[in-house]
Amino acid sequence: MRYPNFIGPSYESQAVTADQERTVNLYEERVESPGGTSRTALYPTPGVELIHLSAGFQGRAHGFFDGREFVIDGSLFFEIDSDGNATFRDFVATNDDPATISYNGDGGGQLFITSGGNGYLFVLATNTFSQIAALNGKATMGDQLDGYFLALDKNTGTFYASNLLNGATWQTGIMFAQRIQASDPWISMIVSGKYIWLMGPETLEVWYDAGTSQFPFAPHPSGFVPWGIAAPFSAKVCDSSLVWLGGSKSGRGSILRATGFTPEVVSTYPVEWAIGRYETVSDAYADCYKEAGHTFYQISFGSANKTWVFDLQMQAWHERGTWNSSSSDFTVWRPRCHAFCFGEHRWLDFSGGGVYRMAIGLTTDIGEVLIRRLRRAPALEQENQRIYYPGFELDLEPGLGLVSGQGEDPQVMMRMSDDGGKTWGMERWRSAGKIGEYGRRVRWTRLGAARRRVFEVSFSDPIPWRLTGAYLLGFVEQQRRSA
């Protein structure tokens, strides 16, 4: 008998006896062919490898503009070439907020940087760097629209615009706006398409380039939304959508997605339950990247030590993290500040200095730690009666072992809970097949009986783990005999 819904997303309910599913460092993909032997599969999330070790202490901003890669790591602003060689450009101020880098295109040829509350300008043609005195203490985050650089000061709820195609000139006494449509101040800003989203804790407004004089921007007539933002740096443009951690007068914790001016909630009840228990969410930072046909919105809660990922195509959530053996659980996934540079995905380090390359074939996390992957399946229950389990078989792609070293004989670790996920038994290991053992069956037998059995499998050997399901051996025959 095929294990029902063995492949699935993370869905750990308030009552684990209702549902206790976890999917960590694996993502779900639908098999589109009607002839597929499985409806869905779980594939491994990518690993990373170091390409440049920085003297900074935290990745804060990252971008690829006009064929050049730029990084803000701690107080360091530098450029990286395709081989990972760094050229130091200058220092920036720091505070607890991330930094931002924006580009005004070929017409301006300038980068606008916000860091530590200040604004900076870098001219690509001359590689000259300067601080923008008019924005001292006024630039929490930046962006650009139609050749204008934009800066938001979340301390005063004011957003400023530079002169057209000239980030060196800011008429802060003229080219600015403050909120009048609602009482909650703007604390976040992001440009999506042709619109500026200005977000408060409870509500937001959408502005556009109206071409008016002297300040060209104005609120869109349909752009008032009764949702705000709970973490200023959680808003990211993903494909044609804007995704962020929402807040409102009623509460916080919903992940929202908007393709027009009307957001929809994409977070599940368990995700919102988890976020609602985090003491601090305002420091959450989000990234978005696209790979293998999937668009992933990744939000990391630094204080809560947790990373959640939403797959826009599958409409499903999974978790990412680094395994902590002392706590026997996953901590926040350290890569953040994504940029697609030189044809590859590159990231910075959440809690250390460095630039990393990400690829599907890599199997290590930051620090060359092997990635541990986990799938906890839904409980098996039948009117609270005892169910006997002659055997359990994991359906995966076998025979992918390495030639030598760790992974030569890759191991699957399985454990069971007989009370719906409250307590767990010891791990039982089985081989997933040495190289070329394509007929290997990964199974466990004589597993006893339980009223609410949960199976969990995990693995960390450096091979491409691909799960397509599981089977309950002898389950149907046993149930017939018991009937």
Secondary structure (3-state) at 108: helix
* pLDDT at res. 57: 86
**Superfamily of 47-362 according to CATH:** YVTN repeat-like/Quinoprotein amine dehydrogenase (2.130.10.10)
Q: Cite the residue boundaries of each domain of the chain with CATH code 2.60.120.
A: 11-45+374-482
Q: Can you give the pLDDT at residue 475? A: 60
Distance, in Å, from the CA atom of 8 to the CA atom of 281, rounded to the nearest integer, reads 26
- For the stretch 83-139, pLDDT in tens is 999 999 999 999 999 999 999 999 999 999 999 999 999 999 999 999 999 999 999
Nearest-angstrom CA–CA distance, 227 and 224: 9
List pLDDT tens digits, range 145-200: 999 999 999 999 999 999 999 999 999 999 999 999 999 999 999 999 999 999 99
At 142 the pLDDT is 98
Pairing, β 306-311 against β 316-320: antiparallel
pLDDT of amino acid 479: 52
Tell me the two tokens of residue 278: 């985090």
Mean pLDDT of 35-44: 95
DSSP one-letter string for 265-304: E---HHHHHHHHT-S--TT-EEEEEEETTEEEEEEEETTT
| Phi, psi dihedral angles at 451 (to 5 degrees) | -90, -25
The one-letter code for the residue type at 190 is I
pLDDT at residue number 456 = 98
pLDDT tens by residue, 56-81: 789 999 999 999 999 999 999 999 99
Q: Rounded distance, CA 231 to CA 96, Å?
A: 13
pLDDT in tens, 266-320: 999 999 999 999 999 999 999 999 999 999 999 999 999 999 999 999 999 999 9
Residue among 276, 275, 235, 277 nearest 256 (CA):
235
What are the φ/ψ torsions at residue 179 (nearest 5 degrees)? -75, 135
Q: Per DSSP, what are the bridge partners of residue 190?
A: 197
Interval 17-29 mean pLDDT: 96
- Whether residue 481 is predicted with pLDDT greater than 60 in this model: the reply is no
How far apart CA 182 and CA 204 sit, in angstroms, is 8
Report whether 51 contacts 348 (CB < 8 A).
no
Q: Cα(258)–Cα(204) distance, rounded to whole angstroms?
A: 12
Whether 478 has a pLDDT exceeding 60, the answer reads no
Q: Give, in order, the Cα–Cα distances in Å from 6 to each of 209, 216, 309.
A: 50, 55, 19
Question: In this predicted model, what pLDDT tens digit does every residue of 433-457 receive, in sequence order?
Answer: 999 999 999 999 999 999 999 999 9
Residue 328 has pLDDT above 90, yes or no: no
Supply the CATH classification number for the domain 11-45+374-482.
2.60.120
What gap in Å lies between CA 249 and CA 255, rounded to an integer? 15
The owner of tokens 């992918």 is 400
- Report pLDDT digits (tens) over 209-230: 999 999 999 999 999 999 999 9
Instruction: Say if residues 275 and 256 touch (Cβ distance below 8 Å).
Output: no
Q: What pTM did the predictor assign?
A: 0.96
Token digits of residue 336: 């953040």
Calpha distance 130→126 (Å, rounded): 12
362 three-state secondary structure: coil
Token digits of residue 410: 């890759």
* pLDDT at 370 > cutoff 60: yes
Q: Is the pLDDT of residue 462 over 80?
A: yes
Whats the size of the chain, residue-wise? Answer: 483
Residues carrying CATH 2.130.10.10, the chain: 47-362
Q: Which of 321, 424, 310, 430 lies closest to 376, judged by CA?
A: 424
User: What are the Cα distances from residue 233, in Å, to 128, 276, 378?
Assistant: 28, 18, 34
Encoded tokens for 481 = 């005999």
